Amino acid sequence: MKKKCEIISLGANCMPRSVLTRNGIKPSKSEGELSCPFDLAIHPITCVIKALEDNFITYFDGLYFESNKKHIFDFSTKRDVWKKTDGTRFNHDTDCGKNDFEKLKLRFQKRIENFNKILDSGAPILFVIYIKDEESRQYINKLYDTLQLRLRGGVFLLPVIDFNGITNEDFYPQIKVLNLPKPCENYFDTWYRSKFKKSSLGPYTEKCICEFVQNIINNEF
């Protein structure tokens, strides 16, 4: 796939990476696309900013393993996961048990290396972030400023996918906002479920997100 720009997800969950890859906007792993730290985990926007500010030096601080089983015969579907006290949740890394801290750390160190390699490449970058809640609004301009410092003059844009009624009027011109009505109350936790993806709202929401990102790529790069 010939790229006009690099596309990097900044979270808040795996929705930006998954939706854009599934619809052919972002290349897949089989096409050589490298995974980055915010692709397949949950990161509040404040955690993304902190990681960028200190170049991931404290990224593994506060990491702990949470078992969701109440007893040995608890067969509930809740996953045991590694989490951080800042709200980060490694919900896709279920192959990393409570004794696999080093395995998880090595995996994300590699993704951090991939991330820094792309940022230092000089290629234009489209950072895509999905805003989970309205509270994140106050940090969007700060996120842009932090990215600008990190890229040291590199070309980038920041598309924001939002369901909370924010508008471009609140932000810098380089921040592009897609504002959609929330498809369902708990969309953050249900967007990936088969029942939702097969509903009329699922494909429509993905179509809007992909057209939004593709139009930015076509018009700006």
Whether the pLDDT of residue 15 is over 80: the answer is yes
User: Mean per-residue pLDDT for 114-128?
Assistant: 97
Please provide the DSSP assignment of the chain as one string. Answer: ---SSEEEE--SSSHHHHHHHHTTSS--GGGTPPP-TTSSSB--HHHHHHHHHTTTTTTTTTEEEE---SSTT---SPPPEEEETTS-EETT-TT--TT-HHHHHHHHHHHHHHHHHHHTS---EEEEEE--SGGGGGGHHHHHHHHHHHHTT--EEEEEEESS---GGGS-TTEEEEE---SSTTHHHHTTSHHHHTSSHHHHHHHHHHHHHHHHHHHH-
pLDDT digits (tens, 9 = 90+) for 175-209: 999 998 888 878 888 898 888 888 888 999 999 99
pLDDT value for 70:
54
Whether the pLDDT of residue 71 is over 50: the answer is no
pLDDT value for 30:
93
Name the pTM for this structure: 0.92
User: Mean per-residue pLDDT for 148-165?
Assistant: 93
Determine contact, residues 139/190, Cβ cutoff 8 Å. no
Whether the pLDDT of residue 216 is over 90: the answer is yes
Can you give the residue ranges of every domain in the chain?
A: 6-58+108-220
- If one compares 67 and 177, the residue with the highest pLDDT of the two is 177
The mean pLDDT value of the chain amounts to 91
Whether the pLDDT of residue 149 is over 90: the answer is yes
Calculated CA dihedral for residues 105, 107, 112, 115, nearest 10 degrees: -170
User: Mean per-residue pLDDT for 90-111?
Assistant: 96
- If one compares 198 and 105, the residue with the highest pLDDT of the two is 105
pLDDT value for 116:
97
